[in-house]
Amino acid sequence: MKEIIEGFLKFQRDVFPERAALFKKLATSQSPTALFVTCSDSRFVPEMVTQREPGDIFVIRNAGNIVPSYGGEPGGVSATVEYAVAVLGVTDIVICGHSDCGAMTAIATHKDIKHLPAVAGWLRHADAAAAINDAHEHASPAEALDSMVRENVIAQITNIRTHPSVALGLTNGTLNLHGWIYDIETGSMLALNWESRCFVPLSEFSETCATPAMSPDRLR
Ligand SMILES: [Zn+2]
């Protein structure tokens, strides 16, 4: 904790004065362009990896970059999605998984997590991905994990589309979805092409998008 406090003191002393104009502008309003949903894992820092400034991206972080389907009693994730889309008017939502994810490892390896009831309950929101992953053959445990990470991003893109604000934004053509996977060791990013369900390098295919194609009669 000492390092964290010292870091804050350094920020206050050295960094904040240099960025005072930005923080003054941000003091009373924000207009982030994207909602970024990612894992709580300490090794992935979305603002660093996307080179965004304070005020640029609205972030949800949780174990496994999960977005529960809409319905029942809405929780914090649902409320934050709704606020980002309906109030802040973000035009893009990124759901970003990552390599070596502990949550996805627990699912892929059928780890006994009965002693972690909150985690076990939370990861049920990835059951569709787990079912698909279990139905496939995997050459190795590492491949099974990578596959689970991919299936989970696809499942969470599916889940977020059940949220009314997201469904409306997609129908109106005002919202785009992106499914990404970050590799911690290489710093590379894969992006989901929704139509093919394939992940491709974002550096080579920067237009790759996970927005489902709308039938022509739904576009206006
Ligand atoms: Zn993770």
Q: What is the pLDDT of residue 210?
A: 94
pLDDT of residue 139: 95
- How buried is residue 27: exposed, middle or buried, by Cβ count under 10 Å (0-12/13-18/19+)? exposed
Distance (Å) from CA 26 to ligand 1 centroid: 30
The pLDDT tens digits for 29-71 are: 999 999 999 999 999 999 999 999 999 999 999 999 999 999 9
Rounded Cα gap, residues 12 and 29, in angstroms:
21
Name 156's bridge partners.
none
* Residues with Cβ within 8 Å of residue 41, at least 6 apart in sequence: 98, 101, 102
Locate 64 and state its tokens.
């496994």
Higher pLDDT, 96 or 71: 96
Distance between CA atoms of residues 90 and 122, nearest Å:
26
Ligand 1 centroid–CA 7 distance in Å is: 25
Output the six-digit token pair for 188.
């590379």
Say how many Å lie between the CA of residue 13 and the centre of ligand 1. Answer: 33
CATH code for the part of the protein at 31-214: 3.40.1050.10
How far apart CA 179 and CA 191 sit, in angstroms, is: 6
Which residues are within 5 Å of ligand 1 (an ion), measured at CB?
A: 39, 41, 101
* pLDDT tens-digit map of 140-167: 999 999 999 999 999 999 999 999 999 9
pLDDT tens figures, 13-37:
999 999 999 999 999 999 999 999 9
Q: What are the structural domain ranges in the chain?
A: 1-29, 31-214
By the 8 A CB rule, do 31 and 123 touch? no
Residue 78 pLDDT:
97
| d(CA 104, ligand 1 centre) in Å | 7
Nearest to residue 163, comparing CAs of 75, 72, 81, 73?
Answer: 81
CA of 64 to the centre of ligand 1 (A): 5
How far, in Å, from the CA of 21 to the mean position of ligand 1?
35
Nearest-10 crossing angle of helices 127-135, 141-160: 140
Whether the per-residue pLDDT at 216 is higher than 90: the answer is no
Distance CA 198, CA 212 (A): 13
What's the CA-to-centroid distance between 27 and ligand 1, angstroms? Answer: 32
Q: Is the pLDDT reported for residue 214 higher than 90?
A: no
- In the reported structure, the alpha carbon of residue 14 is separated from the centroid of ligand 1 by a whole-number distance in angstroms of 32
Ligand 1 center from residue 40 Cα (angstroms): 6
